[in-house]
Structure formats: C-alpha cells, structure tokens
Chains A and B, each alone.
Chain A
Amino acid sequence: GAVVSQHPSRVICKSGTSVKIECRSLDFQATTMFWYRQFPKQSLMLMATSNEGSKATYEQGVEKDKFLINHASLTLSTLTVTSAHPEDSSFYICSARDPWQGSYTFGSGTRLTVV
C-alpha cells in the first residue's frame, strides 16, 4: 500500500521561531495532501488541504499566515508554523489518498513543543 513519510517526528522550538514539517508520499504521486492537528486526548481536526501547484485551502478558523503550506511537487507538502507560540504546541499529522485503493494513508505525525 501507499506510504507517507513525515519528518521530523518530534521538535522543540523557542517561542517566536518558525518550524517546518515535511510530508512525503514515497511510492505514489499525491496532488492533494491534508494536514491535521490533534490536541491531547482529542480527535483530529482538519487544518487545510494542500494542493500541488496552487494555494492551500484552509478550514474555517485556521490562520493561513501562521500555518504556511507549500505543495511544490507531486510528492512533497510542507507545513511551516511561523512565529510559534506555546499554544501552537500540538501533534500535527499529514495524509494523502492512496490512488490505488481509495483509502487514506497517514504520516507518523510530528509532536511540536514550543517553549
């Protein structure tokens, strides 16, 4: 099946700095990827849809200037958390649709801690 690789798995950064998270589809081309956020003991909330070669589509309430998404190639989407603050600390996870099976495959997630 399809494999999605996400890096880094864990990152600690200082308040005010920016952090980039990468999401790669390893054995297929993903014209669309999705970014989710999960707070402790809560469900996953869709943040945005990443579209290859065009602007991302953000869900209501998600600050597009804080969470910059770039989908420059058919296998790579990046999420940059800009000017991070402690309230941005969360678990971020990306996904892509398996073109052969129609199901969705998820990356292993990135645990961001802003200190």
Chain B
Amino acid sequence: GIQVEQSPPDLILQEGANSTLRCNFSDSVNNLQWFHQNPWGQLINLFYIPSGTKQNGRLSATTVATERYSLLYISSSQTTDSGVYFCAVEPPSGTYKYIFGTGTRLKVLA
C-alpha cells in the first residue's frame, strides 16, 4: 500500500521562527489534507490541498502531486502552534480511505 512519510519527526522552535514541514507519499493520490492535532486529540483541518498552493494567515501549503510531496509552512510561530501535524492522503482506489503520515511533533518555546 501507499507509504506516507513526514519530516522532520520532531521540531523545536523559538517563538517567532519559521518552519517547513514535509510530507512525501509513495504513489499518486486523489486528495491530501494537513491536520493539526491539539493536546486534547482533536484533529483540526488546516488545508485540503490535493494540488497547488493555499494560504491561511501564517500558514500556507503547497502540494506537487507529480513529484509526490506536500509542504506546510508555518511563519512567525506561536506557542499555540505546538502539537502534532499530520498529512493524510487518499489513494486513487475510489474507497475514500485516508492514510495518515507519520507526523511531525512541533514544540514552540516562548
């Protein structure tokens, strides 16, 4: 089955710093989403981005489907950005299943 790898696995930043999170997938995909999992476990949808670039405030994301990767940019990081970031992909099997990546655990220090 499709493999979804994220890097880096762990990241520590000072407040105000910028960062780039990467998601690589081993096969073509129908859809891709980025999520932030908060300390209570809730998955917050950040971007639905099967291709192209989107921006939402301090966050932006780019997916290059032909090269099988997606990037999540966080600018001017804040302590509230801490948590785990997952990308999830839907393989082109028509079953709407989502396969989650390995995750990046981010800690932003004040």
Interface set of A (CB-CB < 8 Å, partner B) = 1, 32, 34, 36, 38, 41-46, 49, 91, 93, 95, 97, 101-106, 108-109, 111
Contact = CB atoms under 8 A, between A and B. Distances in A.
B48 A43 contact: no
Contacts of B96: 32, 34, 49, 97
Nearest to B31: A102
B31 A103 contact: yes
Interface-centre pick from B31, B43, B88, B96 (highest chain A CB count, 10 A):
B43
A103 B98 contact: no
Interface residues of B, number: 21
A42 to B, nearest CB: 8
A100 to B, nearest CB: 11
B42 A109 contact: yes
24 contacts: A32-B96, A34-B97, A34-B98, A36-B100, A38-B41, A41-B105, A43-B86, A43-B103, A44-B86, A45-B100, A46-B97, A46-B100, A49-B95, A49-B96, A49-B97, A91-B41, A93-B41, A93-B43, A103-B31, A103-B33, A103-B48, A104-B98, A109-B42, A111-B41
Contacts of B98: 34, 46, 95, 104
Q: Dominant SS at the A interface?
A: strand
Contacts of A109: 40-43
B102 interface: yes
A108 B86 contact: no
A95 B86 CA distance: 15
Nearest to A41: B105
A108 B42 contact: yes
